[in-house]
Amino acid sequence: MLHRLVKPTDTIYLYVLCIKEWQQFEEAVQSDYVPGFGKKISSLLDRCLSEYDMEAIYFDEGVRTSKRHQLESKLLQLVNPAYQSLLGHLRTRTLEAFKESFDKAVEKEGFAVAARDSTQIFLEKFDKGSEDATIQQVNWDPSKVKDKLKRDIEAHVVSVRATKLSELCATYEGKLTKALAEPVEALLDSASEDTWPAIRKLLQRETTAAVSGLESAISTFELDEATEKELLLRLENHGRSVVESKAREEAARILIRMKDRFSTLFSRDADSMPRVWTGKEDIKAITKTARSASMKLLSTMAAIRLEEDGDNIDTTLSLALVDAARPGTTDRSIQSLDPLASSSWERVPEERTLISPVQCKSLWRQFKAETEYTVTQAIAAQEANKRNNNWLPPPWALAAMAVLGFNEFMTLLRNPFYLAVMFVVFLVGKAMWVQLDIANEFRNGFLPALLSLSTKFVPTIMNILKRLADEGAAPAAPERQRETELQPRNNSSNSNVTSAGSSSLTSSENGPEYSSPVAQ
């Protein structure tokens, strides 16, 4: 036996292999956490060492003690991997339980409070679990595993905080986008002097409301001042980016917007009713008003004006595009110097420029070319309407007719028969005019009117003659009807008289005479 104790390896493995319980513990620890691991392993080690003490009691104390330490050391080395594996399982289970509990606690409590309370609770649970795994024969320190658990918990808290903050920021950015996009588009479409001041006011109001809401929402996270300012500043910049993005979209289709505005103002009156070019409208003034409104839209979209810095874009465009086209402009310095011959606006940074002066000039030239046809059509319609409505000859022709036809006029006055004939001809002509609707026929053109009137002339004459014949025959019908109504009444009177006479005669022949009531 002493010879075997001299070989510590053989002695250690002899006792380890005899312990069947160890195999069961080792298999269980490899798969999951084993409650009561420390007590069970401590008891197992005590039995192994006690058995050794019983067998080696008669050997030299120094050798016995040395070999016992070797045996204990080897046993602990054999147990240590299982102990570390057990702590690993304990850390994993604690971390998973923390995640589940923390997600629920965040919904009920503030984020920072939930993080602190949950972290403290589950670190204490780990301490209890590590105490349960403590082996009495050795003082192994579980602090490294606990530190790793703490780092994992902190990493999860940081990840959840980043996700929550990102969701909150996205929510308020979406609300701010919805509150700004459509109103800004409507304001840019109206394009007046108050457009950009109104946009600035809208941006300030909606951004302030969104920042206030976000600030209240992130107060439960207990962020440091720098992080909180960064999030709020990012939300403010998002509001500005929404306005700038919408302005750039509108600037990209400025030509379409200008033509739509021109068409609306030119083709419709103040009541939004379609214009009818009767010849009384001032097309030049209407065109000027519509083009001025389109130029106002161009000047509004030329640059982003989220700051109250003044600029001269409106004046420059008016000087170059409107005043330069006036016939009365004789200043050679204005004519020779083109204020739009530049790639940037004065007092406007490049990053805030949407449409450069050169681009404005090109857009205006294209705009005028594409709207010229509308103006030409309006002028043509007005002239055609004037021609259709003007059936009188020129004044000089009326004067010549009055001078040259004076004798004929006096002849008509001396002979009333001519006047009667002319009056009848006038009535017939008026009837033909109304029946044939000559005024509307000639609106379609001279030749189409002649073709249409030629097909309707004979039927119209026949219709007029038929109506005259019917009106001439109308008085005979009432006379005939009156005679028909009177005829039955006469017959009935004659029969009454005859019957009365016969009654009188009969009475005189038969006896005393009497008078019938009817005869009386």
Cβ(86)–Cβ(36) under 8 Å?
no
Please tell me the distance from the alpha carbon of residue 360 to that of residue 341, in angstroms, as a whole number: 10
**pTM score, whole prediction:** 0.63
- Neighbour-count burial of 376, counting CB atoms closer than 10 A to its CB (0-12 exposed, 13-18 middle, 19+ buried): exposed
* CA separation, residue 410 to residues 398, 407, 413, 416, 429 (Å): 17, 5, 5, 11, 23
- CA of residue 178 relative to chain centroid, distance: 8
Please tell me the distance from the alpha carbon of residue 4 to that of residue 9, in angstroms, as a whole number: 9
Helices 8-18 and 61-108, axial angle in degrees (round to 10) = 50
Per residue of the chain (520 residues), what is the pLDDT tens digit? 333 433 444 444 444 444 555 666 666 666 666 565 666 776 666 676 676 667 677 676 776 677 666 666 676 676 777 777 777 878 888 898 999 999 888 888 889 899 999 999 998 988 888 777 667 677 777 888 889 999 999 999 999 999 999 999 999 999 999 999 999 999 998 888 889 999 999 999 999 999 999 999 999 898 899 999 999 999 999 999 999 999 999 999 999 999 999 999 999 888 889 888 887 889 999 999 999 999 999 999 999 999 887 788 888 888 888 765 554 444 444 445 678 888 888 888 888 999 999 999 999 999 999 999 999 999 888 888 777 766 566 777 778 877 877 777 777 777 777 777 777 888 878 777 887 777 777 776 777 777 787 887 778 878 877 777 777 676 554 555 545 544 444 444 444 333 333 333 233 333 333 333 333 2
Cβ(343)–Cβ(358) under 8 Å?
yes
Structure tokens at 325: 């086209």
3-state secondary structure of 337: coil
3-state secondary structure of 476: helix
Percent helix / strand / coil, the chain, rounded to 5: 80, 0, 20
Please tell me the distance from the alpha carbon of residue 42 to that of residue 36, in angstroms, as a whole number: 10
Residue with tokens 């929510």: 171
Cβ(71)–Cβ(52) under 8 Å?
yes
Q: Which domains does the chain have, with CATH numbers?
A: 10-140 (no CATH), 165-253 (1.10.132), 264-322+341-389 (no CATH), 396-462 (no CATH)
- Neighbour-count burial of 333, counting CB atoms closer than 10 A to its CB (0-12 exposed, 13-18 middle, 19+ buried): exposed
